[in-house]
């Protein structure tokens, strides 16, 4: 059993199909990092919530849990709500090393991928000569 885990935290929506891209991210992460347990959690409207997913991972023996917000920017939820939830988790599970990462949309990888995908969709071509899907099974 792994002592490491990653929680991809998405907003949530009423339509269950909305979660499909996030589930695909989790599946790819599981392929690339089989040593870590990977869970998808939601801030609202869908289950599991962050605290429920985290408690399940702690119950499996995880001692290091990275929370990665799958948001385009550091809005109010990521600046206020998620840190408050993480504070409750730290209090409830003091033996776990919790790390809250920046919103995915503010990372260089995601910014580059969004720019490449936008150029591809708009038929603008890619100056770098690579496809934004290089290395991704479709």
Report pLDDT digits (tens) over 7-25.
Answer: 999 999 999 999 999 999 9
**Residue 12 zone, left/alpha/beta (φ > 0; ψ -120 to 50; rest):** left
Place of tokens 């599946």: 27
Burial (CB count <10 Å: 0-12, 13-18, 19+), residue 57: buried
Q: In this predicted structure, what is the pLDDT of residue 79? A: 82
Please state which architecture CATH assigns to domain 4-106: 3-Layer(aba) Sandwich (3.40)
Question: For helices 50-59 and 82-92, what crossing angle results, to 10°?
Answer: 30
* The predicted structure's pLDDT at residue 136: 57
Asked which of 24-28, 64-68, 117-121 is least confident by mean pLDDT, the reply is 117-121
**Average pLDDT over every residue of 116-128:** 82
For residue 48, count CB atoms less than 10 angstroms from its CB and return exposed for 0-12, middle for 13-18, buried for 19 or more.
middle
Q: What is the mean pLDDT of the chain?
A: 90
pLDDT digits (tens, 9 = 90+) for 50-81: 999 999 999 999 999 999 999 998 777 778 89
CATH 3.40.50.1400 in the chain: give the residue spans.
4-106
Share of the chain above pLDDT 90, in %: 78
């Amino acid at each position: 059993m792994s002592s490491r885990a990653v929680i991809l935290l998405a907003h949530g929506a009423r339509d269950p199909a909305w979660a499909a891209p996030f589930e695909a991210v989790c599946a790819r992460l599981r392929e690339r990092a089989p040593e870590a347990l990977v869970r998808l959690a939601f801030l609202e409207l869908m289950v599991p919530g962050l605290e429920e997913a985290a408690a399940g991972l702690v119950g499996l023996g995880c001692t290091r849990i990275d929370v990665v917000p799958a948001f385009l920017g550091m809005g109010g939820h990521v600046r206020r709500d998620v840190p408050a939830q993480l504070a409750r988790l730290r209090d409830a599970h003091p033996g776990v090393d919790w790390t809250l990462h920046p919103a995915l949309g503010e990372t260089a990888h995601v910014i580059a991928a969004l720019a490449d995908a936008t150029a591809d969709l708009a038929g603008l071509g890619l100056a770098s000569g690579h496809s934004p899907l290089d290395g991704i099974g479709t």
